[in-house]
Chains A and B, each alone.
Chain A
Amino acid sequence: MSTNHNFFAPFADDDRADAAEKVTGRAKFTAEHAIPNLGYGLFVCSTIAKGTVSKIDESDALKSPGVLDVISFQNCPAVPGYSPAKGGFEWWGLKTLYDNKVRFFGQPVALVVADSFENATAALKLVHVNYDKEAHETDFEKNRKIETALKPAGNYKRGIEKAYKTAPVFIEAEYKTPIEVHSPMEMHSTIAIWDGDDKLTVYDKTQGPKSTQNTLAKTFNIPQKNVRVITEYVGGAFGNGLRSWLHVPAACIAAKKLKRPVKVLLTRPQMFSLVGYRPQSWQKIGIGADKTGKFIGISHSAISNSSRYEDFREGIVDVSKFLYACENVDTDYKTLPLDLSTPTWMRGPGEVTGCYALESAIDELSYQLKMDPIELRIKNFTAINPENKLPWSAKNLLDCYEAGKTKIGWKNRSATPGKIKENGWLIGYGMGGGVFGAGKGSASVRLILKDDGTIVLQSAVSDMGPGTSTSMVKVAAETMQMPIHKIKFSLGDTDYPPGPSQGGSGTTSSLGSAVNLVCETLKQGLKELAIQQATAFKNLAVADLDVKNEIIFSTKDANTKIGVTELLKLSGKPLIEITKDSGGATPEMRKYAINSFSVHFVKVAVHAKTGEVKMLQVVTTGDAGKIISENTARSQMLGGVVGGIGMALKEELLINHETGEIANASFGTYHLPLHTDIPNIEVWFVNKPDPIVNAIGAKGVGEISLIGFAAAVTNAVYNATGKRVRDLPITAEKLGFKKG
Chain B
Amino acid sequence: MEACKHADGRRGFLKKSTAIAALYLAPSFLTKSFAYDKLVPSPVEKEKLQIIINGKSYELMVDIRMSLLDLLREQVGLTGSKKGCDMGQCGACIVLVNGKRVNGCMTLAVDNGSNKITTIEGLATPEKLHPVQEAFISHDAMQCGYCTPGQIMSAVACIREGHANTREEIKAYMEGNICRCGSYQNIVDAILDVKKSGKPV
Contact = CB atoms under 8 A, between A and B. Distances in A.
Interface of A: 1-2, 10-12, 15-16, 18-29, 31-32, 34, 60, 63-66, 116-119, 121-122, 125-126, 128, 182-187, 233-236, 238, 267-268, 464-467, 631-632, 634-636, 638-643, 666-668, 672-676, 678, 680-681
A581 B131 CA distance: 41
A187 B40 contact: no
A641 B138 contact: no
Q: Which of A11, A34, A118 has the most CB of B within 10 A?
A: A118
Nearest to B167: A680
Contacts of B136: 19, 23
25 contacts: A11-B137, A23-B129, A23-B133, A23-B142, A24-B124, A25-B121, A26-B80, A116-B63, A117-B70, A118-B70, A122-B44, A122-B65, A126-B37, A185-B90, A185-B144, A185-B178, A186-B144, A186-B146, A236-B180, A635-B183, A636-B143, A639-B181, A666-B85, A675-B174, A678-B171
Contact of A24 (B133, B171, B186): B133
A642 B78 CA distance: 31
Contacts of B99: none
A32 B119 CA distance: 15
Interface residues of B, number: 70
A185 B79 contact: no
Contact of A2 (B126, B140, B144): B126
Nearest to A32: B79
A34 B180 CA distance: 26
Interface in B1-43: 36-41, 43
B73 interface: yes
Interface of B: 36-41, 43-44, 63, 65-66, 70, 73-74, 77-87, 89-90, 92, 119-121, 123-124, 126-129, 133-134, 136-138, 140, 142-149, 152, 168, 170-172, 174-175, 177-188
A64 B126 CA distance: 44
Nearest to A24: B124
Contact of B82 (A186, A636, A673): A186
A2 B178 CA distance: 29
A1 B126 CA distance: 5
Contacts of A22: 142, 145, 148
B44 A20 contact: no
B73 A32 contact: yes
A672 B183 contact: no
B144 A236 contact: yes
Contacts of A185: 82, 84, 90, 92, 144, 146-147, 178-181
Nearest to B122: A25
Per DSSP, chain B at the interface is loop
A681 B74 CA distance: 39
Contact of B180 (A1, A183, A638): A183
Given A18-B145, A122-B65, A639 B182 contact: yes
A581 B147 CA distance: 34
A636 to B, nearest CB: 7
Contact of B185 (A19, A121, A631, A681): A681
Nearest to A632: B140
A25 B79 contact: yes
Contact of A673 (B41, B120, B174, B182): B182
A25 B40 contact: no
Contacts of B128: 2
A184 B146 contact: yes
Contacts of B74: 116-117
A668 B89 contact: yes
B144 A464 contact: yes
Given A16-B142, A23-B148, A25-B81, 14 more contacts: A21-B145, A25-B119, A29-B82, A117-B74, A118-B44, A128-B38, A185-B82, A465-B143, A635-B183, A638-B182, A642-B179, A668-B89, A675-B171, A678-B184
A159 B147 CA distance: 51
Contacts of B170: 675
A643 B120 CA distance: 27
Contact of B80 (A25, A183, A268, A638): A25
Nearest to B73: A32
A12 B63 CA distance: 45
B149 A667 contact: no
A25 B152 CA distance: 10
Contacts of B63: 116, 118
Contact of A634 (B41, B70, B119, B140): B140
